[in-house]
Structure 1
């Protein structure tokens, strides 16, 4: 079974979350090898062991071309058709602006006609039986998926599962023969300044290669202004990423996939973002196994108490609860009606200072602490309310795809 062949993707635990409401051209020039060949390494990404023998890798002046040659046969173009409602705008205006820009042109229906929407993106094959990873927004709602291999072969695809909170999707290609695959790297080993290469099909130009460096790591969805809460710390790169690159791989100089090209910022140059491959591998395994990602949920909207946030609260006429300027923790902005948090006694205005007896200073810390538990587990919250410390036990439930918020 193809599922059994993918057990190498397994990771332990669930990294999930609490539901929130709410290069210049000269830098490209290289003479000779960019660095000495790295020694042989073996490392663990949770349960999935990845070994990379780099001792024999010769990095010469064409190291980018060598890396591309190694990885490109496993990179595909994805074409989708979607039977959208007849009243849907041709501009697909309900999508966040960065997704409309990034996903490219998607022709909508003229009212009363049956013309399907079409879209295009990229992806890469992770198993020779035909399993590929791409972005959720590439295949979201697709009624027909067509995969185009590098050699021009066109094959049908079927979406196995999607996870909007990380923008990851898994597709199975219908093929009667083994398919070329990419090699996985380890995004936890990335450092700012490392060379990276983006592969994909931007603007309909198939088999396109762009190169740059890792500009920064751990960019949150709020930092890059993505609508909604994405449970990803993005890789920032100056490798050119354009509409149609979405879902394609970001590789290192050894031809290993270390990220999934995902987002651009409208009007920006030299700034693109990718999902770390370790996170993508984790989510992909869950989608293959269960068809969805099972996450624990408690139902609060939160914000970390920074000096700037505290100052804003003081200036907000609707905010009446006094909070000391020295307060630390996570402020509860809203509690979802009927949620475990409400049932467990959490109130708007509480300050979460610890989860399971571990201090928390920002919303992500609370999200991660809850996400590391299993659905149904009790989670201990330590709160500050009216200058008094309270301890509450809240039992998580499964986060639904569209919870009431």
Structure 2
């Protein structure tokens, strides 16, 4: 693996992406532990001894009791996959070469093993990779990262006792990088349970167990360094920890001092592929919901609201007369559940299912966790007043891919206002911009480099369709909205701007 800067997340393949902690490295012998330590209570999850379960955490004298208690539920995972590699010394044929069929027909070395069409000969080889996981039911359900088992032909689970069992995939979710496996055992297996990751506080002690660098069972300790970290995914909610996590720890558990799993070790930030004290574990409150769905359906079934949203900034909140810059602002309502319930662009979603919404990320997670096909109470702020809606959610996996319309670009007798020049959108301009001929609004012709519009990212070709949450079709309309905002004592005016078919709200200063 090549060295990358500290700002890169490392993968098992060495790419600068989300770190996959299970390297494709040669399998190494793992020293079996005492068989007696694998004995389990058939009906109860493993938990920390009473002495460790304290309301106020203090520096523990040892983590040994906690490790002894939970380690029988932690497993090493070995995967085997078949990969094709070019044969050294064989002829390399250009793409589409007719000779590839000839060599394959007459059995040229390498081609009978399935050399790709139009390429040189190749041979199949077996590749092993290692990772970690943990048992969450006495019946043999195991949780790990999706990237640990993705593409595997065979999966073998090694328990703390040294016993090995084959596993099959029950379900996997690439959006949260979680997979659920199942082993068949003739007796109940020791297991652990999920804790409430929302109760974890920065500074709390944590214990990471797993199979770092293929060395076998290993424990490391540290604290919760930060919470609610987002790396690259829609549903990311990572706990950051300084407990040593390395490649091969992927899919392993992060325990609190009560012996509950509060995270699944997934990623590291590192310049060299090794631990530098910045590791990330997907929060258990995200993982447990995914695991439940994968166990029940073999796939995820996330709720779908059917809106496009953006954050509520301080200036947008001020322009709308909101007390706080919280919630999620609706920029577009394509065909879907929200449109059916009469949600409108410009609404600010402040509550979903009885819980206040902090920001768009918060809304996305709550919607995803909500049951598909059931009505949910949603409160929006509209025209300065709260409006209650009931929305029956669709399923995101089915609905994904809907889009909206409208777009941009050009000129004729421009008028200067708020640091930009605009002209009415005519049918001829609409044709040049590629939007519907009956579209209405104002087209931005130019933007002053030091003006208010430039500060907010407006550019030539943008189409302003609303100002002050009311349609604008002429310069007089826009001037009237500015006057109304000033009369109301506001410092900014909220504009709906469309660019390349994507709507967004922008609050421009009118001082």
Residues 136-147 of structure 1: pairs in structure 2 closer than 5 A: 136-147=146-157
Q: Return the match for 1:296 from 291, 303, 309.
A: 303
User: Is structure 2 residue 244 aligned with structure 1 residue 228?
Assistant: no
Report the equivalent of 1:240.
244
Report the equivalent of 1:352.
349
Gaps of 5+ in 1: 1-47, 88-108, 312-321
Report the equivalent of 1:374.
371
Task: Quote the Cα distance in structure 1 between the aligned partners of 2:192 and 2:46.
Answer: 13
User: Is structure 2 residue 135 aligned with structure 1 residue 128?
Assistant: no
Task: Quote the Cα distance in structure 2 between the aligned partners of 1:286 and 1:253.
Answer: 27
Task: Quote the Cα distance in structure 1 between the aligned partners of 2:255 and 2:377.
Answer: 41
User: Is structure 2 residue 66 aligned with structure 1 residue 54?
Assistant: no
Task: Quote the Cα distance in structure 2 between the aligned partners of 1:118 and 1:339.
Answer: 45
Q: Secondary structure at the match of 1:76?
A: strand
Task: Quote the Cα distance in structure 1 between the aligned partners of 2:354 and 2:191.
Answer: 44
What is the CA deviation profile of residues 341-397 of structure 1, one whole-angstrom value per residue up to 9, with x for unaligned ones? Answer: 355555555433444686534114433554564322334555556778766554311
What is the CA deviation profile of residues 133-184 of structure 1, one whole-angstrom value per residue up to 9, with x for unaligned ones? Answer: 1122322343321112234333210111223343322111233344343465
Assess, with a 3 A threshold, how the Cα gap between structure 1 residues 187 and 368 changes in structure 2: closer, same or farther.
Answer: closer
TM-score (ref. length: structure 1): 0.64
What is the CA deviation profile of residues 106-135 of structure 1, one whole-angstrom value per residue up to 9, with x for unaligned ones? Answer: xxx997543465432100122333221112
User: Is structure 2 residue 179 aligned with structure 1 residue 169?
Assistant: yes
Report the equivalent of 2:338.
341
Assess, with a 3 A threshold, how the Cα gap between structure 1 residues 71 and 392 changes in structure 2: closer, same or farther.
Answer: closer
Task: Quote the Cα distance in structure 2 between the aligned partners of 1:357 and 1:255.
Answer: 31
Task: Quote the Cα distance in structure 2 between the aligned partners of 1:114 and 1:344.
Answer: 55
Task: Quote the Cα distance in structure 1 between the aligned partners of 2:344 and 2:218.
Answer: 52
Q: What is the deviation of 1:403?
A: 2.3
Q: Secondary structure at the match of 2:349?
A: strand
Deviates more, 1:237-246 or 1:136-145: 136-145
Q: Return the match for 1:362 from 347, 359, 362.
A: 359
Assess, with a 3 A threshold, how the Cα gap between structure 1 residues 369 and 212 changes in structure 2: closer, same or farther.
Answer: closer
Assess, with a 3 A threshold, how the Cα gap between structure 1 residues 323 and 131 changes in structure 2: closer, same or farther.
Answer: same
Q: Secondary structure at the match of 1:127?
A: coil
Instruction: Say which structure, 1 or 2, has more relative contact order (CA 8 Å, 6+ apart).
Output: 1
Report the equivalent of 2:79.
80
User: Is structure 2 residue 247 aligned with structure 1 residue 251?
Assistant: no
Structure with greater Cα Rg: 2
Report the equivalent of 1:5.
none
Assess, with a 3 A threshold, how the Cα gap between structure 1 residues 140 and 349 changes in structure 2: closer, same or farther.
Answer: farther
Task: Quote the Cα distance in structure 1 between the aligned partners of 2:354 and 2:263.
Answer: 34
Q: What is the deviation of 1:193?
A: 1.6
8 Å Cα contact 1:186/1:258 also seen in 2: yes
Report the equivalent of 2:93.
none
Report the equivalent of 1:214.
224
Report the equivalent of 2:294.
287
Q: What is the deviation of 1:210?
A: 1.4
Gaps of 5+ in 2: 1-43, 87-114, 403-511
Q: Secondary structure at the match of 2:148?
A: helix
Report the equivalent of 1:14.
none
8 Å Cα contact 1:63/1:253 also seen in 2: no
CA RMSD of aligned residues (A): 4.0
Assess, with a 3 A threshold, how the Cα gap between structure 1 residues 194 and 372 changes in structure 2: closer, same or farther.
Answer: closer
Assess, with a 3 A threshold, how the Cα gap between structure 1 residues 118 and 341 changes in structure 2: closer, same or farther.
Answer: farther
Q: Secondary structure at the match of 1:341?
A: helix
